[in-house]
Amino acid sequence: MIASKLAGVTVPLALRSIVDDLAHPAPYLLIPIFLVLAYVLLRFFGDALGEARDVVFSTVTQHTVAALAERTFARLHRLGARFHAKRETGSIVRDVQKGTDGIGYLLGVGLFTILPALIEIGTVIAIIALHLTIEFTWIIGATLVCYAIYTVVFTRRRMVVQREVNRLESAADSRLVDSMLNYDTVKYFAAEEIEAERYHNVLAHWVIARLRNQRALTTLHVGQSAIVCLGIAATMLLAVQHVAAARMSVGDLVLVNAYIVQVCMPLNTLGFVFRETNDALVNVERMFSVLAGERYGEAGGGIGDEDRDEPGARDLVVAAGEIVFEHVDFGYDPARQVLHDISFRASAGHTIAVVGGSGSGKSTLVRLLFRLYAPSRGTISIDGQDLRQVTRRTLREAIGIVPQDTVLFNETIAYNIGYGRVRATRADIVRAARAAQLDAFIERLPDHYDTRVGERGLRLSGGERQRIAIARAFLKDPPIIVFDEATSALDTRSERAIQTEFRRLAQGRTSIVIAHRLSTVVDADRILVMEHGRIVEQGTHDELIARPHGVYARMWALQREQGELEHTQRRLAAQPRTIGDLASAIAARVARVAATRGVAFRTNVADPELPVTGETDEIERVVAMLASNEIEHAAYGQRVELRAQRSENGAWLVVLGAHEEPAELTDEQAAVAEAVLSAAGGTFMPSPVDGRVAYVAALPLVPVVPVGAAAMPGERTAALTVDGYATGARPPAAASMLEGISVLAIDDDEEARDALEAALASHGARVALAASGADAVDQLERTVPARWPGVVVCDITLGEEDGCDVLERIRAVARRHAVPALPAIALTGHADGATRARTERAGFEAHLVKPVQIDALADEIRRLAVPA
């Protein structure tokens, strides 16, 4: 670096010697030739050594900037929850990025610009002082002083404007990021123009500030140029006078001109550097204020230190996993208390539930347990260890959580599951996914575990995101697990499926369940009821229900009434529709699109009378969307086919496109298809069909059909009809043919249970419903044998349970109570002989295949049932 500048300042000396020698030419011009070569070499070495400097020091500079960026990123994650609750993401990203760039600029400028410029200016002044009169030195010195004073004064004034520009840039970035993160809200309210106007308003102020900044910059540059030009003019006028008086040679004049220009070049550089350095300092100033937490109340002591380890903090050692809250008070703001004197004990290996209305402080307990915040009074301990005296890393490693809203990284499914344990192998991730009942869904995806989930996981449904959160918790395998309203955003069907995984995950662990729906916590070992930040009741479900005027009992009654209303609405909406009619309606929807594009669209319905239920209009719309998408991607003359067929325990609507792979769907289309089919109890998946991959809408079968409708071949039929299931006259005996008989119907599909209840109740039966084998066994255990049902109707495929195993568990309960075994009917979509033989060996007295005519089912129930 120094050699480069020294080579540069000697170039004018060589040039002066060339000019003077040419004024007195030698006979053979040898000396000027050597001087020209020296001049060229010096200029080359000046440039080459400068480039060599950049090569040598660029590695240091880049590593320094990268290290600072990494430390800044780590610092942001170390800041407390108060900081992150109040931060503006876009503003933070912009401030940190520009601040990091500013630090890199300052490091590079200090080493590569300021020091070389000072060396160059000092060397030039020294050479001029040695070779020329003192007047030249005074002129150059006066120019430097005037330039420096002017630059400092006007740059300081401009910094005020630059701070305003930076503030508005941060506001614009924050507005942009916030709007993009909430794009769905913008679309729901058709507020695109409003958002554009808000962004325009910020940018309008930014334009004004930038123009003020540019005017200040222009004033600075014009003044600097004027000072430099005056210095050059004074120097050259003095040099011309000395040459005219023969006190200097022409070579000296060239030397003075070269050096005054050489001084002014680093002077301009220093002016530019000073201005940019001040801008960088403003950026760094904003970044450091962010990292210090000053803008959000995180600086200094007190609450700002609540997410930091105390000096001498020890690792948490979990032996049993007992959690104790003792007289805990807390408020997010000193003026607003959230929790008041909270005390409870979560015994090791037990489940404690916390219920209450919104704003009662339930989720705040979880944040305090994770030590995201510190209580203002009282203590929280695990196995007798005060959480303030343990390291936050070991504390959070000991607790797993399934949150209310699972937000995923825009990465692969494997990455998001593996986040539960950083060093997990692919085999560990697959085991965790299998434990969370997620592996079947993943295997249906084209890229399996390498499928990207989209920003915040929006390419997956709510239930799928929750299952990934459960898989994370399985992979982490913590001694303490927290479920923070983990099913509040799910429909009833998804909630029941997820609840089964929750029970499996909580086995052998201390667990805290934050819940809004009381039906999800009836099995908890202890229930805390919160209201206005206080625990107003606690006990088991039965103890709390026994208090007729208690808060829990009132909440239970209200939610039960709501549940019964929703159940009645589902029963009224559960009108079967044949799959042939559904396929014809879909074909009618896409006929115009197919004709316009010249694509042949065909339907192939193997069993047109096969009934399906649910929101069939929505199913029709979604499958038509899939078919239209395939038509849009097909070439003229190609063929797209819709197949409707039975597939074991369900009905399939298959959209077979013109290519080997199905046409790609947008994230929104995939989400809609998944949501609609999931709500109907079905699934949406790509599956191999005839050597190709096609989109398949799999729907559950209707368990019963009206008299006159097609049943499975070989099933018994009669001439009875039921309201809502057939038209025409109904024999008077139909409404009472099951009078006095109680039926327990077990099916994991909600629409199937509702259809069974409606059909059997219309025949006079009393119907109890169970969504799983565990639910059925629990109902029997909680009921005296004298009031048990007279017959059990059970599906063979119950999610992860097998109907034959469920029947064995039910009869084991009967043996424990010393009562006769309950007669049972297998009602399933499997019509193969092997399944019939298996149900017979398991002890089912009858095997009926969905859809069965209601009279055939009623006859079997009446034949087998034990009268109530």
Q: CA-CA distance, 471 to 360, in Å (whole number)?
A: 29
Among 77-86, 606-615, 758-767, which range has the highest average pLDDT?
A: 758-767
Is the pLDDT assigned to residue 50 strictly greater than 80?
A: no
Q: Which has the higher per-residue pLDDT, 627 or 866? A: 627
User: What's the gap between Cα 204 and its chain centre?
Assistant: 33
Backbone φ and ψ of 530, nearest 5°: -110, 145
Percent of the chain with pLDDT over 90: 4
Q: How far is CA 320 from CA 8, 369, 397, in A?
A: 75, 16, 15
Q: How confident is the model at residue 717 (pLDDT cuts 50, 70, 90)?
A: very low
- Mean pLDDT for 290-300 is 50
For residue 856, the tally of other CB atoms under 10 A from its CB is: 21
Q: CA-CA distance, 370 to 310, in Å (whole number)?
A: 15
Backbone φ and ψ of 624, nearest 5°: -65, -35
Backbone φ and ψ of 666, nearest 5°: -75, 165
Is the pLDDT assigned to residue 611 strictly greater than 70?
A: yes
- Mean pLDDT for 409-428 is 83
| Angle, alpha carbons 244-133-38 (nearest 5°) | 85
pLDDT (tens digit, 9 = 90+) per residue, 591-608? 988 888 899 999 998 888
Which secondary-structure segment (H or E) carries 862? helix 854-864
- 328 class by beta-carbon count within 10 Å (0-12 exposed, 13-18 middle, 19+ buried): buried
Q: CA-CA distance, 458 to 667, in Å (whole number)?
A: 8
Is the pLDDT assigned to residue 36 strictly greater than 60?
A: no
Question: 3-class SS at 157?
Answer: helix
Is the pLDDT assigned to residue 792 strictly greater than 90?
A: yes
Do 564 and 751 form a contact (C-beta atoms < 8 A)? Answer: no
User: Closest Cα to residue 13, out of 248, 264, 252?
Assistant: 252
For residue 477, the tally of other CB atoms under 10 A from its CB is: 14
Domains and their CATH numbers in the chain: 77-296 (1.20.1560.10), 323-550 (3.40.50.300), 577-700 (3.30.565.10), 711-864 (3.40.50.2300)
Minimum mean pLDDT among 342-351, 411-420, 513-522: which range? 513-522
Q: How confident is the model at residue 232 (pLDDT cuts 50, 70, 90)?
A: confident
DSSP string across 195-262:
HHHHHHHHHHHHHHHHHHHHHHHHHHHHHHHHHHHHHHHHHHHHHHHHHHTTSS-HHHHHHHHHHHHH
- 728 class by beta-carbon count within 10 Å (0-12 exposed, 13-18 middle, 19+ buried): exposed
User: Closest Cα to residue 772, out of 799, 792, 751, 807?
Assistant: 799
pLDDT (tens digit, 9 = 90+) per residue, 812-854? 999 998 888 889 999 888 777 888 888 999 999 998 888 888 8
Q: CA-CA distance, 536 to 534, in Å (whole number)?
A: 6
Amino acid at 665: L
- Mean pLDDT for 557-574 is 61
Q: Which residues pair with 385 in a beta bridge?
A: 382
Q: Is the peptide bond before 479 cis (omega within 30 degrees of 0)?
A: no
Is the pLDDT assigned to residue 294 strictly greater than 60?
A: no
Give the distance between the most distant pair of CA atoms in the chain. Answer: 140
